[in-house]
Each structure stands twice: as C-alpha cells, then as structure tokens.
Amino acid sequence: MCNVIYVMLFFLVRPKGISIIKVSITLFLLLSVFMLLTLIFKNRSKINQISKPLRGLFSVLVFWGIITMLRGISFSLQDLVTNFGNVYMAWAWALPLTLILGLKIENWTIVLNVIRLMFSLMIIAFLISLAFDNSYLQWAWLLRPVNMLLLLGLYRFSLISKLQVCLILAVLIIVALQVKQRMDLLYLSITFSFLMLNKLASAHIKRVFIKYIIFGFVLVVTLIFTVGYELVSNFIASLIDFQDSRTFLFNELMAELSSFEKIVGRGSLGTYFSQFMEHTKWYTVEILKQPWWGDASTRITIEVGYLQMILKGGVTLMTLNFIFFMTASYTAIFKSNNRFIKGLGYYILIISILSIVSMRPAFTPTFILFWMATGTVLSKKYREMNDEEINVLIKFK
C-alpha cells in the first residue's frame, strides 16, 4: 500500500529536484522497501520450497542484483537520492527477493485486497483529474494489475469487485488512448488473446499452441541478442505491418557498451548517450524553435526491459532473469493442477514477452506482483493443489 501511495502522490504532485515535498513522498517508497525486506527476512526459510537448482540460480540472481546496486553507490547527495529514491534504480534489482513472499500463498489474499483498494483510489483520482489535469502517463503503473486479475478469472470475485475491474479496464483504455501508450493496449490485447485461447481451444490444441508461443519467444530473444534487433525487426515487418520504435534503442546501447560492459553492465546508476535524443532536441529547439520536453541525451533508463537489464547488470543479469521467467511460466502452465497457478503463469509469460519492447523493471506494483507470482508457481506444493484447495487458502471478495 505504501508503494501504491508513493506512485500516486509522485505523479499527482510531480515534485522537482530535491525538496521537502519530494523527500516526504519518497519516504513512502523507502518504507515499502523496508517493510518488504523485513517480511522477506522473516520468511527466508520458505525458499526451501523450490527445487535445489532453482535455489542456486535464485542465490546467484540476488547476488548479482546486489552487485548491480553496489556499483551504483556514490557519495553525492543527488546520486544517493536518484539511486535509492527512483523506482528504476537500486531497488528494482532487489525485487527478486519478493519471490519469497509468494511462497506463502495466503499472502495473495492481502495482495488482492490491496489491489481492490488501489483501484478504488485510481477511479477517484481519475474522476478528479478530468477537471484539473489530464497528464497521467505513469498512472498505468497502478492500472496494469487489472491484466493479472483477468488472467486469474473474475468468476471468483463478487459482483462489486467485477464492476470495479470493468471500471478500471475502461480507465486504462482511456488513459492509454489519451497519452498514446500503445504498450498498454498491446498488453490488454495479449491478455484477452490468452483468455480466448483458454475458452475456445481444446486442452490439447491449447497446450501445443502455447508451447509454440514459448519456443518462438525464446528463439526471437536469442536472435535479437545474437544477430541483432534490427534484422529481426525487418523480418517481422516483411510479414506484418507494424511501426518499429525500438531498433534505435538497441543499436545505440550496443554501440556504446564495451565488450566487458555488455557482460556486467554499468551498475544501477549507469547511463548511456543517445544520439537520437540529441539530434531530436537540436531539431526541435534550433529548427522548429519549440521548447524541448523530451529526455536528456544522457539517459539513465531505457524503455525496453531486457535492454534496461543489460545497461545496469549486463547480459549476465538479463540471462539470469530470462531463465527464471521461462522456467516459472512453463512450469506454471504445464505442470499445475489449478487455474490460479496457470493464471499466474500466463501473467509471467506476458510480462516476459512485453519486456522485448517495454516493461523495464521497476519497484512498482506490477513487478512486486510479478516476483510474488514467480515464487508461488515454483512451489510444487501449490501446483499440485486443485481449485477447491486453492480457494480455501485465498479468500476472494
């Protein structure tokens, strides 16, 4: 809830520089970090629920995340504020620890109640914003969990909760159209595609089709980071009509990183220089004579999830995360006996797919839920339960 309050206040107030207001708002972020880490430490023994090889991989991932955080340590006040007060910086790489909270499935009752409260706040804030302010690009951070609820199945929820989900779905679509956020429309499209596949396809056809999706996705990611994003993008463009806005990001980052940096990244405060942003700024200011509102040429984040991992922790960080993503989603979808785990598996798979074009890791509700889901689906005990047993442990309202 503290994380939700932080995100809402940050984008409602939009504080600039280092100020009392910004520090006060950031305290909600730091409080959410402190409470999560405290809970994780208390429940650390639950990690034994997952297999020994995955425990080893988890330890390596956490270790590399800590290294990535430490490499961003600076004694400059501004750097400290940025590193530990920005959801994309240090804390984003501590999020895999949240996996441990997912190993107690009863925690989902708390999470689902927080989501319902979050949605209520967002509906009120949206109605207020219609009269005062329509610049709500990052509001999607608090609206995106609706995709997870759809994948888990609304049949479990009360009529009031179902109506709330429908309202949030409408708000998300309005926000996405208002700010031209194609990613959220793509997110919803993929979510509904999986829901339709679940409803219309036979069990055999569904399993085969999803296996092809996972295999194709792994192949595409492999090709992107071997032969290059541009070649893959051009091939896809020859088959279907789509607007590519990511090739320049891949080319700029890979051209700037040294061979060593491609392996280990530049740390949580790592930056890269964007020639595209520099040129666009020059053209806007010098030629069009208009003020520049875009990103600075030296960028501290990059829109694409997997590229953000490479910038901060190198191919090492990306590979560790990718193995976890694929293992969790495949295990949940094909080796579970209940809808709840399968729904979480679809959620993990969709976030993994979208990380090719967006979804940079951040200490926000989307990724807190993501890593909790990863922990839950990796527990054999929960995968072997049927729907009735799951519903006893998780109270839906």
Model confidence band, residue 39 (pLDDT cutoffs 50, 70, 90): very high
In this predicted model, what pLDDT tens digit does every residue of 193-227 receive, in sequence order?
999 888 877 778 888 889 999 999 999 888 888 88
d(CA 207, CA 168): 31
Task: Give the least confident one: 10-19, 31-40, 300-309, 385-394.
Answer: 10-19
| Per-residue confidence (pLDDT) for residue 99, from 0 to 100 | 96
- The closest alpha carbon to 341, from 389, 305, 300, belongs to 389
The verdict on pTM exceeding 0.85 is yes
Model confidence band, residue 38 (pLDDT cutoffs 50, 70, 90): very high
- Cβ 308 vs Cβ 301: under 8 Å: yes
In this predicted model, what pLDDT tens digit does every residue of 265-283 receive, in sequence order?
999 999 999 888 888 877 7
Please return the burial class of 213, using the count of CB atoms within 10 Å of its CB with bins 0-12, 13-18 and 19+.
Answer: middle
- Cβ 303 vs Cβ 272: under 8 Å: no
CA distances from 112 to 1, 55, 115, 152, 156 (A): 11, 27, 5, 11, 12
| Per-residue confidence (pLDDT) for residue 290, from 0 to 100 | 78
Counting residues of the chain whose pLDDT is more than 90, the rounded percentage is: 49
Contacts of range 125-131, beta carbons closer than 8 Å, 24 or more positions apart: 125/8, 125/12, 126/171, 126/174, 126/175
> 337 — phi, psi (to 5°)?
-110, 10
| Per-residue confidence (pLDDT) for residue 245, from 0 to 100 | 65
In this predicted model, what pLDDT tens digit does every residue of 124-172 receive, in sequence order?
777 777 766 555 556 677 888 999 999 998 877 888 888 888 888 988 8
Res. 263: pLDDT tops 90: yes
Which is higher by pLDDT, 103 or 79?
Answer: 103
Count of C-beta atoms within a 10 Å radius of residue 380: 13
Identify residue 236 by its one-letter amino acid code: I
In this predicted model, what pLDDT tens digit does every residue of 328-359 receive, in sequence order?
999 999 999 999 999 999 999 999 999 998 89
For residue 348, the SS3 value is: helix
Which is higher by pLDDT, 81 or 336?
Answer: 336
In the structure encoding, which two tokens stand for residue 41, read together? 């430490």
Model confidence band, residue 42 (pLDDT cutoffs 50, 70, 90): very high
